[in-house]
Structures are given as structure tokens and as C-alpha cells.
Amino acid sequence: MRVLLIEDDDTIADAVVVRFRREGVHVDHLTNCEGLVVADLEPDFNVVVLDLGLPGKDGLDFLREIRHLGAVVPVLVFTARYAVTARVGALNLGADDYLTKPFDMDELLARCRALARRHGNVTSAILHHRDLVLDTGACAGQAAGKTIRLKPKVFQLLQYFVENRGRVLTKPMIEQQLYGWEGDVESNTIEVFISQIRREIGADYIKTIRGLGYLMSVNET
Amino acid sequence: MRSIQNAVFRRILAATLSCSVILCASIFLLVAQEFRGELRSQSANAAELILTIAQTTPVHELQTIEQLPQSQNGAEHEYVLAVYTPSEVLYASWPNPPSDISLLDAPLLTIDGEIYQMEHHLDPTTYTRVVVGMLERETILASLEIVAFTVLAFLLVMAAMLWLIRGAIAGGLVHIHRLADEVTKRHHGSLQPIDLELPPELRSIANATSNFMVRLREAIQREREFVSNAAHELRTPLAGIIAQTEAIPKAGLPDEVADPLEKIRQSAKRSARQVNQLLDHAFSQSQVGIQSTPVEICKILTETLVDLTPAADHADVEIEFHCPQTLQSNLPAPLLQIVFQNLIVNALKFSNRPGRVRVTCELGLNKVEVTIEDNGPGLSADEFHKAQSRFGRSNDQPLASGHGLGLAIVGELCADMGIQIDQRSSSDLGGLSAKLLVPILKSSSSKTS
């Protein structure tokens, strides 16, 4: 995965670059978006991580501009601005995800991976989480050395959980991920899939958050 | 306090009634008197005329003039006439004139039980007198009739005039009513200028009010920009500290480095939470002028809980959420989110370990009941209310584990939005149960999945 980080604060940017590179993610860093054009973004970068409070051209203006010009590269916006008001503005302008500073580094990484996956512009990768190893290209995996046997849709759901570990996934989010906007889903399909996953890998990977959805913890225990 | 219209009309009415009473009394006295005086004058003129005729008519002819016939309905004649000399009555229009001629000289004469007012006229050469008598009862009744008619006509004209005056006052105040309607019917958060065609007297008030709202809007906008800038300036260095501590690989770090590093990270996170609360408070104070739209309460709760659940999971706190219906309110979504977030964060922080937090949202009696419960030590009613005052803190809470602004923000926002907040002990979980009664817009029968 290749990420373009546009962040003017060196302390934050340095930490992100170090951590991402340690996780095998290639990061290019810019301190502003002056002179950047759509052609610079696609097809090289899988995700753009964009700070809103940039010197010179504002991050929101840049976002508006690239979306207007038809850029489809996923953009994760992060900002220290007041969350309630800035979030809606960024998402309305075409940001794909949003994080408020200070943020959790694991969460930032997980969200970038999820965005890259969602937009289908990352080739197959091996995902690791605790005893799980998933080969997304082959749709195969292992849990504690034992081969996982899951149907493609169910494997896709498991992959979605691993890529978004640490985030609550609500039922509408899962249905949209698996079936898109037009998908016709039985009311208990997701519950059945979760049950199948738990049978294959163990019941303690995915927690049910009653009334909300499901969570695959980041915790390593 | 009375309305302007009623106050002005009452004053006019009081003045008019006072004048009317005086005028009616004057009419009663003067008109009646004038009428009776005029009657006497006419009688005197008639007496003089009759005397002139009597002077040229032989006495024996006078004696042959017939008396006035009795009226058919039995009423007495209003007028009587007599012509007499000091020695004899030459003519009397009523039968049986008094034998004592001197009685005819009196100003009042009783004839068949009726009193007549007598007007005399004397011929000084022949000492012949003519006397014309008017029935006094009829004189009084006639004068009263005229007075009553005059007063009645006056009062009717007064009433019509008052009705016209009232209409004129109402018409004159219509612009004030329009201005009052324009101001009272607008949304409580609206700071738009007043755009009405108004007369010059009200135009200056409307302009001054509009200018004030423009300045207020600008001040609020500056405050919002300040909050946004302050957020950036306060959060960015904290984000840098936390990011750097998380970028350091933990594997292989000696304890004497790992422990302080974790403390730095936790301290920075705590500072970040406090900054967030201060910003929430500043943001909520700058929300005048924001017009809210219908919002789904369950959606706001879901978004808030989705954000907070990972941290809860990390802290070994289980979250449970129940919201079986779509329930809407017309309150501002950002402020509702701040209220819910602060209460849920408090519940997560103060619940025991392993912790349990339950959030329910259901339709109550014309309100939406949002309940946030935890399995922590709870708060008494007194402690709960004290915690809602700024920087208040329950004595039992360890100083390092909490900060005092969360419930204060909740208390202020709930008061501003008309949300009733109540606390009790959770019967299931044993800790604090905070219940919010949120004004409802509408509810549907749809079920959330």
C-alpha cells in the first residue's frame, strides 16, 4: 500500500511515517498541497491522508478541487479543528473517512487499509491478526495453524473485520460492504455469517456489541 | 400589564364618559329650564294677544264664547284661558272658575286637581287681565322628553365615535402587531434582520434591532472561529506527543523507559479529553442563531457509541444499546451529541472493572427517554447536582481519575435545550442511572434492525 501524507506538523508527520513504514506501508510526505494536481495522486497512491489545517491552500479547498476534477483516490481527512462542525463539511466535500486529532495510530493505519481495500486498488495482501493469517488474494487463511474453510462472502466478511479491527462495524456497514447499496439481504444473514466465522476461528475474535454491531478488538489477548 | 390598545382606549373612554356625564347633566338642567322658560314666554305672548282681542270685543260677546270641550280620552287640557276684571270673570275656558277672583292672580292655580302654571297680562287702562295656564305636569314631562331625546342622541353619537376611535387605534397599532408577530414567530435561534415595511416611528426600532442581530451574529461567528482555531492550537501539539509515543516500538523497551513513556501518553490523552470538553463547552455557548432540523436520536446515539466502543473495549467495559424505535427531536444534533457523549464517557470512566454500560432510548409520555446506566459506584442526587456546577467533583472520586467539566456541560446544555435530567441508582447494574427526557418531534412505528 502507498500512502500520501499531507501534514504540516513535523512531529505528527514524523510519527506517522515511522509507524507506517514499520508496518510495511510506503509513505510519501508533503507539508502542503500547493501545486499538487490530480495526476500526481492517481494511480500512484492508494490513500491520501490529508490534514485540513494546512498553510497556504486549505485542505478542504484541495479536497473540493480534486473531487471536482474527478479524482477518486480515497481520502482520509484528519484535523484538530472542532470535530462536530468540521466532520460534516469534510465528508460532504468527498472525504471518505475522518479522524480527529489526537488519534490512535493503530486506528489510522487500520482505516487507511480499509479505504485502500474498499476502493479495490490494493492487490492481494497477507493480513495478520493474533493467530489469524489471511491471504486475501487466494481467499484462504489459517487460524492457529488450522486452515480456515469459509465461503467467499463469509471470508470477505472476516477480511473486513481484520482490516477494520478496533472499529465497531454496524449491521448496515457490513451489509453495504458485502452487498453494496442495492443488495437484498435476509434479516439474519449477517448473524449467520458471524456464527460461521466463530465456528472456524473461535468465539473470542469477534465481540457482539448489543444494539450496535460487532467489534474485532485490537487487543492481542 | 394592559396592551397599548386597551390602555389608550380606556383613557379615551374615561375622558369621554366624564365629559358625557357633565354634558348630560348640563343638558338636563339647561335644556329643561330653557324649554320651560320658552313655554312661559309663548304663554305670555298668547296672553297679550288674547288681551288685545278682548279689548276690542264687547263683554257680552266674550261671555258667549264656549268653553273648551272635554277631551275624548278624559285627559285634562294642557292649556286654560281666562279673561277677567277685578270684579268679574268675563271668560274662563274651564267650567266652574273660582268665585274668588283673586285666586286667578296667583302664579299657580289648581283646577280639578291639576296644577296649572299661570301667565298673566294686564291692561292698565281697563284693569282687564288675561291669564293663560299651562298644565305643570305636562310641562315637566315635555321638558324631560326633550332632554331624554337629546341625551340619547348624544350618547348614541358618543358610542359611534368611540367605536370609530377604537377602530382607528387598532388600525394605528397594526404595524406594531406586525412587528411583534415577526419577532415572536421567528425561530428562537434566528438572527436574521427584520424585513418588513414599517412606518417611520417603528422603522428606527426595527433597524436598531436588525443591526444588533447583525453584530451578534458576527460576534458569534468570531466565537466559533475562535473555538475552531483554539481547537487546532491546543490539539495539534497533543497529537504530536501521542503520535510520537505510539511510533516508538514497544518490543524490547526496558521498563524504565516503557513506563514513563506510557505515562506521557496517558497524560497527553487526558489533556486531550479536557481540551475536548472545554471546546464542547465553548462550542455550545456559540450556538445561538443555529436553526435545527429534525434529527434521529437513535442515530446520534449510535454514532456516539460507535466512536466510544473501541476505547470501552480496551478498558474492559461492555456496552449495550437498545433503541427499538425511530424517534426524532427538533434539537440541534451537535449539542445532543455533546450531551450524550459526556454522559457515556462518564459512565465508561466510572464503571467498575469489568464494566457494564447500558444505553436505552425509548418513547415515554410525550418525551424520548434516554437512559445511561453503569455498574460503578453511582452518585447521590446531591452529588449529581453538585457535579453539574462548574468544576464540581464528588468527594469520593479520586482526583486523578476525573475532571469536573463533563456534567457541568451536560447540565447547562440540558437547561438550554429544555431537556429534563434526572439521576437514580440503576436497579440492574447498581451504579448511576442518568435519565434524559428529550422533547420529541415525532415517532414512527418503524423498528431499527
| Tens digits of residue pLDDT in A40-54 | 776 778 899 999 888
Element (H, E) at B134: strand B128-135
Q: For residue A209, what are the CA distances in angstroms to A129, A190, B136, B312?
A: 20, 14, 109, 11
- Distance CA(B134)–CA(A157), nearest Å, equals 123
Share of chain B above pLDDT 70, in %: 88
> In terms of Cα–Cα distance, which of B276, B438, B449 is closest to B364?
B438
**Confidence at B65, pLDDT banded by 50, 70, 90:** low
Tell me, yes or no, if B181 comes closer than 8 A to chain A by beta carbon: no
**Confidence at B149, pLDDT banded by 50, 70, 90:** confident
B contacts of A105 (beta carbons < 8 Å): 243, 246-247
**Confidence at A76, pLDDT banded by 50, 70, 90:** very high
> Strand, helix or coil at B47?
helix
Q: What integer pLDDT is reported at residue B13 of this predicted model?
A: 85
Q: Do A80 and B232 touch (CB under 8 A)?
A: yes
Cell digits of residue B96: 266652574
Q: What integer pLDDT is reported at residue B138 of this predicted model?
A: 77
Residue predicted with more confidence, B304 or B449: B304
In chain A, what's the furthest Cα-to-Cα distance?
54
Q: Do B239 and A12 touch (CB under 8 A)?
A: yes
Total Cβ atoms within 10 A of residue A211: 21
What is the distance in angstroms between the CA of the first residue and the CA of the last residue of chain A?
Answer: 27
Highest mean pLDDT among A15-24, A49-58, A92-101: A15-24
**Helices H / strands E in chain A, number of each:** 8, 12
- Distance CA(A51)–CA(A62), nearest Å, equals 10
> In terms of Cα–Cα distance, which of A41, A49, A98, A50 is closest to A73?
A41
Q: Do B244 and A171 touch (CB under 8 A)?
A: no
Q: What integer pLDDT is reported at residue A219 of this predicted model?
A: 60
Q: What integer pLDDT is reported at residue B171 of this predicted model?
A: 84
- B396 vs chain A: nearest CA distance in angstroms? 30
Q: For residue B273, what are the CA distances in angstroms to A137, B147, B170, B228?
A: 41, 90, 59, 16
Contact at 8 Å (CB) between B246 and A105? yes
Which of B279, B309, B323 is closest, CB to CB, to A209?
A: B309
Q: What is the mean pLDDT of residues B208-229?
A: 84
Q: Do B228 and A207 touch (CB under 8 A)?
A: no
A contacts of B237 (beta carbons < 8 Å): 11
Contact at 8 Å (CB) between A3 and A30? no
| Omega cis (within 30) before B334 | no
Interface test mutation site (partner B, options A212, A217, A220, max chain B beta carbons within 10 A): A212
**Confidence at B301, pLDDT banded by 50, 70, 90:** very high
- B216 vs chain A: nearest CA distance in angstroms? 20
Q: What is the mean pLDDT of residues A79-108?
A: 80
DSSP-derived secondary structure for A47-77: EEEEESS-SSS-HHHHHHHHHHTT----EEE
Residue with C-alpha cell 298644565? B135
| Omega cis (within 30) before B398 | no
B contacts of A212 (beta carbons < 8 Å): 302, 305-306, 309, 319, 321
Residue predicted with more confidence, B446 or A205: A205
A contacts of B313 (beta carbons < 8 Å): 207, 215, 217, 219
Is the pLDDT reported for residue B287 higher than 80? no
| Omega cis (within 30) before B354 | yes
Q: What integer pLDDT is reported at residue B297 of this predicted model?
A: 93
Q: What integer pLDDT is reported at residue B67 of this predicted model?
A: 62
Contact at 8 Å (CB) between B434 and B371? yes
Element (H, E) at B114: strand B114-123
CB pairs under 8 A between A and B: 120
Q: What is the mean pLDDT of residues B15-34?
A: 81
pTM here is 0.65
Q: What integer pLDDT is reported at residue A28 of this predicted model?
A: 92
Q: What integer pLDDT is reported at residue B420 of this predicted model?
A: 92
Is the pLDDT reported for residue A194 higher than 90? yes
Is the pLDDT reported for residue B200 higher than 50? yes
- Distance CA(B28)–CA(B36), nearest Å, equals 12
Share of chain A above pLDDT 70, in %: 90
Searching chain A, which residue's CA lies closest to the CA of residue B334? A84
pLDDT 10s digits, B389-418? 655 455 554 433 444 678 888 988 898 888
Q: What is the mean pLDDT of residues B354-360?
A: 94
Total Cβ atoms within 10 A of residue B133: 27
Q: Do B309 and A105 touch (CB under 8 A)?
A: no
Listed range (A2-6, B136-140, B314-318, B329-333) with the worst mean pLDDT: B136-140
- B310 vs chain A: nearest CA distance in angstroms? 6
Is the pLDDT reported for residue B369 higher than 70? yes
Contact at 8 Å (CB) between A3 and B235? no
- Distance CA(B31)–CA(B150), nearest Å, equals 9
Strands of A132-135's sheet in order across = A126-129, A132-135, A140-143, A146-148
DSSP assigned state of B264 = H
Q: Do A16 and B224 touch (CB under 8 A)?
A: no
Which of A81, A166, A172 is closest, CB to CB, to B310?
A: A166
Contact at 8 Å (CB) between B279 and B230? yes
Q: What integer pLDDT is reported at residue B398 of this predicted model?
A: 45
Q: What integer pLDDT is reported at residue B403 of this predicted model?
A: 44
Handedness of CA B239, A8, A30, A52 (dihedral sign): positive
> Strand, helix or coil at A114?
helix
Tell me, yes or no, if B156 comes closer than 8 A to chain A by beta carbon: no
- B319 vs chain A: nearest CA distance in angstroms? 6
Is the pLDDT reported for residue A123 higher than 90? no
Q: Do B228 and A107 touch (CB under 8 A)?
A: no
Q: What integer pLDDT is reported at residue B444 of this predicted model?
A: 43
Contact at 8 Å (CB) between B297 and B328? yes
> In terms of Cα–Cα distance, which of B246, B225, B407, B401 is closest to A102?
B246
- Distance CA(B412)–CA(B56), nearest Å, equals 112
Highest mean pLDDT among B22-36, B192-206, B231-245: B231-245
- B241 vs chain A: nearest CA distance in angstroms? 8
Total Cβ atoms within 10 A of residue B305: 25
A contacts of B320 (beta carbons < 8 Å): 209-211
Is the pLDDT reported for residue A178 higher than 50? yes
Interface test mutation site (partner B, options A168, A174, A208, A220, max chain B beta carbons within 10 A): A168
Highest mean pLDDT among A141-155, B48-62, B172-186: A141-155
Q: What integer pLDDT is reported at residue B141 of this predicted model?
A: 80
Name the average pLDDT for chain A: 85
Q: Using N-to-C axis directions, what is the helix angle for B32-56 and B136-185, rounded to 10°?
A: 150
Q: What integer pLDDT is reported at residue B344 of this predicted model?
A: 95
The whole-angstrom distance between residue B251's C-alpha and the CA centroid of its chain comes to 73
> In terms of Cα–Cα distance, which of B36, B93, B98 is closest to B67?
B93
Q: For residue B441, what are the CA distances in angstroms to B130, B366, B423?
A: 98, 9, 24
**Confidence at B290, pLDDT banded by 50, 70, 90:** low
pLDDT 10s digits, A16-33? 999 999 988 999 999 988
Q: What integer pLDDT is reported at residue A221 of this predicted model?
A: 45
Is the pLDDT reported for residue A83 higher than 70? no
**Helices H / strands E in chain B, number of each:** 10, 13
Q: What integer pLDDT is reported at residue B399 of this predicted model?
A: 39
Name the average pLDDT for chain B: 82
Contact at 8 Å (CB) between B114 and B139? no
pLDDT 10s digits, B237-253? 999 999 999 888 888 88
Is the pLDDT reported for residue A202 higher than 80? yes
Is the pLDDT reported for residue A10 higher than 80? yes
pLDDT 10s digits, B250-282? 888 898 898 999 899 989 988 888 888 888 877
